[in-house]
Amino acid sequence: MPARSPNASPSIVFIGAHMEAHAPFRRLIEGGDNILGFVTLDADGMSTMSAATDLTPLARKARIATLRVHNINQPNSVDWIRQHAPDVLLVVGWTQLLKPELLRVPKMACLGFHASLLPKYRGRAPVNWAIINGETVTGNTMITLEPEADTGDIVAQRAIPITDEDDCNTIYREVSRTEVDMLEEILPMIRRGVLPRQKQDDTQATVMPKRRPEDGLIDWRRSTREIYNWVRALTHPYPGAFSVLNGVRVWIWAARMDGGRKIQPGSRPGEVALDADGWPWVGTANGWIRMVTIQREGGPIVSGLVAGKTFLASGSAFSEIREVAK
């Protein structure tokens, strides 16, 4: 990296569209950093991205030139960024890989974040997969971007604990907070012409597949813990965990493992029972799980108590996975 005069602020083109990009983008604006341009997804791209967040109001208020793209690697997109001649491309909350032509544009570095402790959980939906897998710690890593996904040198890294009360929303908020923290650590170094880099140990890498909304189907034959992790990993702002009741899709937005002692034993997976207070519980492979927030297709999001009074009757049952797959 070329030496810079002390306190010289690197010029930045910021690329982002996911909820995790909001806090770092706002921090850069409020900190008076030299943001030359902002790139985000067009309307079609935003509509198909889970947890997409419109950052254009922030850019507009700060009078930052903005480009909406469908594919960031298209020639007109690359040309627009090249014309701004940034020192740094900063990519936050972006699912498209940047091709070599674009990676060569910045004078100093192309930096991004990945919401895991790399090299673990490379690939898509790292936070969701970490919760699904029952991890108690995840993290966030600032890396130099390469043509391959999540393989660049580690610039900075932060660990993030996952408690039983966390879900994908709370963890992504922590991811966003750590991005601000890492920017505050690394940007002063960049101003001095320094960029710490550590190669990843590829032998320790794990790669997670892309998730689709239809992948949220609940298998009630799993344990209570596994189903609880499934629900909280896929809740808002993601498409949600769901099952089918009497041919109608039902989303479970929040659940609890607590209690269940008021329910008689001997359930079968997917069977519904109401406790003495009217809360609906659903049978799992090894017990019961309480429905806290639920939504029937075409209806509003309601509490489990309301669902128990309307469409979740004792003795009804969610479809088994093989029946749903037809």
Strand order in the sheet with 154-161: 65-69, 35-41, 12-16, 88-92, 109-114, 137-144, 154-161
How many other C-beta atoms are found inside a 10 Å radius of the C-beta of residue 116? Answer: 25
Is residue 2 very low, low, confident or very high in pLDDT (cuts 50, 70, 90)? very low
Cα–Cα distance, 131 to 138 (Å, whole number):
9
DSSP-derived 3-state class of residue 128: helix
User: Cα dist. 191→70, 88, 155 in Å?
Assistant: 32, 11, 15
Cα–Cα distance, 225 to 284 (Å, whole number):
9
Q: Domain spanning 12-208: which superfamily?
A: Formyl transferase, N-terminal domain (3.40.50.170)
The dihedral sign for the CA sequence 125, 127, 128, 130: positive
* Percent of residues, the chain, with pLDDT higher than 70: 93
CATH 3.40.50.12230 corresponds to the domain 213-324? yes
Query: Which stretch of DSSP H or E encloses residue 284?
Result: none
Examine the pLDDT at 309 and tell me if it is beyond 80.
yes
Q: Could you say which DSSP state residue 116 is in?
A: S
Residue 321 is predicted with a pLDDT of 60
Is the previous residue joined to 237 through a cis bond, with omega within 30 degrees of 0? yes
CATH 3.40.50.170 residue ranges of the chain are 12-208
Examine the pLDDT at 6 and tell me if it is beyond 90.
no
Alpha-carbon 312 to chain mean position: 31
Cα–Cα distance, 195 to 189 (Å, whole number):
6
The dihedral sign for the CA sequence 43, 45, 48, 52: negative
Which pTM does this prediction carry? Answer: 0.91
CATH 3.40.50.12230 residue ranges of the chain are 213-324
Residue 326 is predicted with a pLDDT of 42
* Percent of residues, the chain, with pLDDT higher than 90: 87
Residue 258 is predicted with a pLDDT of 77
Instruction: Give the CA angle between residues 247, 229, 293 to the nearest 5°.
Output: 55
